[in-house]
Structures are given as structure tokens and as C-alpha cells.
Amino acid sequence: MNATAPQDNQAEAPLEVFRQAVEQSALAISITDAKARILYANPAFQRVTGYKRDEVLGHNESLLSYRVTPKIVYETMWSQLLRQRAWNGLLVNKRKDGSRYLADLTITPVVDEQGQTSHYLGMHRDVTEVHRLERQVQNQKTLIESVVDAAQVAIVVLDENERVVLDNQEYKKLIGDLGREPARTVLDALRGSGLDLDPVRRSFAPRELTFARQGGEARWFACGGTWIEELDSSADAFYEPRRRQYLLLTIQDITPLKEQQEAIRVNGLSALLAEQERIGSLREALAGAVFQLEGPFNMIAAAVRMLERRGESGTDSLVEGLVQALRAGNEALEALRRCIPASAAEAPQAVDINAVLRDVLRLATPRLLADGVVVEWQPAEELPPVRGRLTQLAALFKQVVDNALDAIHEVRGQRRELKVSSALFSDRIEVRVEDSGPGVPESLRLKAFQPFFTTKGANGRHIGMGLTVAQDVVNAHGGFIDIEAAGDGLGQTGCRVRVQFPLGE
């Protein structure tokens, strides 16, 4: 017996180690008989459930059950166990003090030599806090996604390869307007504007971009971005954290705002041009009055000089009277000249002629619709800016277009067409305004630019007033303006006004 004792001790050593491992395990471990009556519970079981060992021995494991666990869970569990298969799942258990906790439970059947289930080994841990954190993260994720989806701004997150990893509903709506992947379109436009998209910048302020959509209409967007970092969640990055870069891109549709601003700008331009026309009319009326009065006063001055040369007796009082009348008349003329409003000072700037023409046509829209005029607008694809005074140029083209509409208005029962075009040549920019009116005879085309000349009401031939002022504006910009027949483009009748501006050095 003494010879075999060391062998028995060696055989029993693993069993003792197993018992100590179970006793010291952080998992709550229990062993039940085949009817789920508790035969053993380790200290961790007592800590988790609050029951002492002698309070649970002999009792069914169901004393931990709580009613909120669905019946189907227990049915599924026993279905597995009766087939001698291990089961793992989550149960809502109740501690001795009545508090509830979420148990991650694994039950393994213990099969004897006859193949019958003799015992069940149960191991569970309290995962209430883990579940709470998971739900909190999920709730926050759902909340953030809901807020992002409800935002009236398109939001998209791109990875380092500029692939979309997250977007909202507003972003999806942009696909029909900006193409299959709006983010790529926006990023290309941002780079084209000179923006550096290096993540080191961390963020960039919103920039206004415009995109043409189907139908030729433009949409405006304010596009900004922020680079964000995410820690790699893979297992191999646990001890050596790796960071991933993502770009949070916001795309806000500001088209209504831009349209409102444009409407305010155009209305302001309309008011400014109307005021200039009013002042111009006043200046023209006063200048005309001065011009008309200068003739009689010049005749009086000539009569005075003639009487003085003759030196006839008895004419001194007449000469004196004429001199006084002439002096009073000149003073009146000088007073009228002082009443003529001065031209408003305007600093020269780079002017987009196409933009000026678009504004003038926009201002003329109500009249075009009222008169049923068909407009053909043919701008050059790209024009270099002209150095000039914006308001004067707008007034120039408005006068030309208004004259064309006056001419079209005189035509009854015929087509009503207006063609406005711009073209770029090697040495100049040329604008043409053509109308389908009665036209201007060649003999009157030069006279049309003379002060106070008008063909309005003269046998129906007219191009309106103000071409003298228009010519002054063109001359001030080093350009050229003339009138010619419209040609075959608008039929046998009609008028074409050509305005040319030389290209700068």
C-alpha cells in the first residue's frame, strides 16, 4: 500500500487543482442534478446572485429566473439540453435582494457512462453593464443618424480613398442633380478652385460652388469639410493603435439665397438705371433748353455788334437795352447750365459683358412677355473682362435694348423677335442687338446719334431716344457703335446695333 500511495496522491492532485480552480474562478459556476436542483455553487455564484451556498443547495435553478425572460427562451434552452447539447444565451435573473441583472449563461449537460444526462454544469457572468454600454452606444448611434438624416444639409463621410462610408437623405437627393457620386464632383470643384485637401489642414471653411443642372439652370452650394480621426478597432491594433482619416463633408444648397441676393442686386440695378435715366432726361431737357436759347441770344449779340459798327444817332438807347437784355439772358443761360446735374462718378472695374447683357435682358423680361417678343440669346462661351464702368455699360445696353423693343412694338401682325449675341475676336469683343422692327433708313443711321434727334413718330421709323448718350459711353470706353440693317437673320426688315470694345493689352 505504501508503494501505491504516491501514485494515488498523483492521481488526486489534478482533481484538487480542478476543485481549487472552480472555487477561485471569476465565473459563477453551479452544478445541478438532472432535474436542475443545485448541488454545488462556487463563491463567484454567491457574489453574483447574493445567495449563500446553503441558501441555494437543493433548490431548483429556477429560483433565479425573472418573469421578463420570454418563455420561448426557456423552451429553446431545454430543447437543446434534452438533446444533450450545450446551450448559451442571455437570461434576465433576479438576485436575492430582488434586483435584476442580465446573465450570459452557458449550460453543458454531463453525460454518464450509460449515455444518460446525470448533471448540468452552469457558468454565467453578469453582463448588465456591458449590455448598458452597448445599448447606450447603439442609442447614441441611432440618435446621431436620425439627426444627420433630418438635417437640411447634405452630409457625407469619406474614407482615405474618398469612398462614401456614411451619408444622409439630403446627400442622396443630390445624386440626381450633381451626378452618380456628388462628393467626387464637389471635391473636384474644390481642388479646381485651388483648395488644398491635405488632412493636416484639419478643416476648411465653406466655399461657394456653382453647378449647372439640366435645363441650363444653376445651383449654388456652400461646401465645407473637417478631417476626423478614428482608432482602428481590429485586434492587431490593440497594443499598437492605428488611426484612420475620414473627411466629413457638408454640402448646403444656397440656391434660394443666391437667387434672393440676385433679385435684390437686379432690383438695385434697375432702380439705379431708372434714376440715371431720370437724371439723364433732366440733363437732356436742360441742355436742350440751353441749346435752343443760345440761338436767339447769339442773334441779339450780332445785332448789337452791327448797331455799334454803324454808329447811327438815336440808337444808343436801343443798344443799351439790347446789351442789358443780352446780359440778363446770358445770366439765365448760366443759371440753367448750373442746374444741369453732373454725371455720377464711377470707378472703372473689370466687367463681364455677358453678365451685363443677362442683367439687361432680365430687367426687360416683363416687357418682353407683355409684348410677346421671342428672345434669342447667344452669348460667347467665354469673354475676357472689359475695363470699364459697370453702371454706364448697363445703361448703354439697356438703352439699345429699349430702342429695339420700341421698334418691335411698332410692328403689327408680324413676328416679334429680338436677338442678342456676343462674340470674341482677336482684337475686340462685339455685341449685336437685332430686332424685327421696321428698321432705320441708311440716310438716318448717322443722324440717329446726333443730339436731340429722333425718328419716333416719323412714318413709323424709330429706334428711340438716347443714342447720343450711348455713343458717349462707348467712346469713353474706347469702343465703336453703329447701326445697320438686320439682314437675313431676322428677315428683310429690322435693325442691328453693333457695339465693339477693344481688347486690353
If asked whether residues 164 and 212 sit together in one domain, one would say yes
Helices 316-339 and 255-310: angle between axes, nearest 10 degrees: 170
User: Is the confidence at residue 241, as pLDDT, over 50?
Assistant: yes
Give whichever of 109-123, 379-393, 432-446 has the largest mean pLDDT.
109-123
| Confidence tier at 62 by pLDDT (50, 70, 90) | very high
Mean pLDDT in residue range 152-164: 90
Q: What is the pLDDT of residues 367-401, one digit of tens each?
A: 888 888 899 999 998 889 999 888 888 888 988 89
If asked whether residues 357 and 325 sit together in one domain, one would say no
Residue where one domain finishes, among candidates 339, 370, 392: 339
If asked whether residues 364 and 488 sit together in one domain, one would say yes
Mean pLDDT in residue range 434-447: 74
Instruction: Let me know how many helices (H) and strands (E) the chain has, helices first.
Output: 14, 17
131: left (phi over 0), alpha (psi -120 to 50) or beta: alpha
Choose between 255 and 492: higher pLDDT: 255
If asked whether residues 425 and 498 sit together in one domain, one would say yes
| Amino acid present at 361 | L
Residue where one domain finishes, among candidates 195, 221, 253: 253
By mean pLDDT, which of 91-105, 118-132, 489-503 is the weakest? 489-503
The pLDDT assigned to 464 comes to 40
Mean pLDDT in residue range 172-185: 83
Q: What is the pLDDT of residues 303-339, one digit of tens each?
A: 778 877 777 666 677 778 888 888 888 888 888 778 7
If asked whether residues 414 and 452 sit together in one domain, one would say yes
| Confidence tier at 60 by pLDDT (50, 70, 90) | very high
Print the domain residue range for 310. Answer: 260-339
| Confidence tier at 289 by pLDDT (50, 70, 90) | confident
**How far from the centroid of its chain's Cα atoms is residue 182's Cα?**
12
Q: How far apart are CA 162 and CA 187, in angstroms?
A: 9
* CATH code, domain carrying 448: 3.30.565.10
The pLDDT assigned to 432 comes to 93
Asked, for residue 306, whether it belongs to a domain, the answer is yes
The pLDDT assigned to 1 comes to 43
Asked, for residue 377, whether it belongs to a domain, the answer is yes
Chain mean pLDDT for the chain? 83
Is residue 408 within 8 A of residue 401, CB to CB? The reply is no
If asked whether residues 265 and 406 sit together in one domain, one would say no
Mean pLDDT in residue range 116-129: 95
The pLDDT assigned to 377 comes to 92
Asked, for residue 25, whether it belongs to a domain, the answer is yes
Residue where one domain finishes, among candidates 253, 280, 295: 253
User: Which DSSP symbol is given to 344?
Assistant: P
| Confidence tier at 295 by pLDDT (50, 70, 90) | confident
User: Is the confidence at residue 499, as pLDDT, over 80?
Assistant: yes
Q: How far apart are CA 318 and CA 300, in angstroms?
A: 12
Give whichever of 141-145, 233-237, 341-345, 412-416 has the largest mean pLDDT.
141-145
Asked, for residue 4, whether it belongs to a domain, the answer is no
User: Is the confidence at residue 8, as pLDDT, over 60?
Assistant: no
User: Is the confidence at residue 104, as pLDDT, over 80?
Assistant: yes
| Confidence tier at 459 by pLDDT (50, 70, 90) | very low
If asked whether residues 391 and 482 sit together in one domain, one would say yes
If asked whether residues 479 and 382 sit together in one domain, one would say yes
The pLDDT assigned to 314 comes to 62
Asked, for residue 136, whether it belongs to a domain, the answer is no
Asked, for residue 191, whether it belongs to a domain, the answer is yes
Asked, for residue 146, whether it belongs to a domain, the answer is no
By mean pLDDT, which of 30-39, 119-128, 199-208, 454-463 is the weakest? 454-463
Residues in the chain: 505
Give the other-Cβ count within 10 Å of 347's Cβ: 6
**H helix or E strand, kind and range, residue 402:** helix 390-409
If asked whether residues 358 and 490 sit together in one domain, one would say yes
Choose between 148 and 41: higher pLDDT: 41
| Amino acid present at 148 | V
If asked whether residues 333 and 353 sit together in one domain, one would say no
Give the other-Cβ count within 10 Å of 400's Cβ: 26
Number of domains the chain is built from: 4
User: Is the confidence at residue 460, as pLDDT, over 50?
Assistant: no
Give the other-Cβ count within 10 Å of 398's Cβ: 24
The pLDDT assigned to 446 comes to 62
If asked whether residues 492 and 401 sit together in one domain, one would say yes
User: Is the confidence at residue 215, as pLDDT, over 60?
Assistant: no
Residues 6 or more apart from 134 whose CB is under 8 A from it?
none
| Confidence tier at 281 by pLDDT (50, 70, 90) | low
The DSSP string of 276-288 is HHHHHHHHHHHHH
> Which pairing describes strands 417-424 and 428-435: parallel, antiparallel, or unpaired?
antiparallel
Residues 6 or more apart from 204 whose CB is under 8 A from it?
195, 197, 224, 225
The pLDDT assigned to 444 comes to 67
User: Is the confidence at residue 445, as pLDDT, over 70?
Assistant: no
Percent of the chain scoring above 90 in pLDDT? 34
The pLDDT assigned to 219 comes to 85
* CATH code, domain carrying 99: 3.30.450.20
Please give the radius of gyration of the chain, using alpha carbons only, rounded to the nearest integer: 48
If asked whether residues 17 and 62 sit together in one domain, one would say yes
Is residue 45 within 8 A of residue 29, CB to CB? The reply is yes
Asked, for residue 406, whether it belongs to a domain, the answer is yes
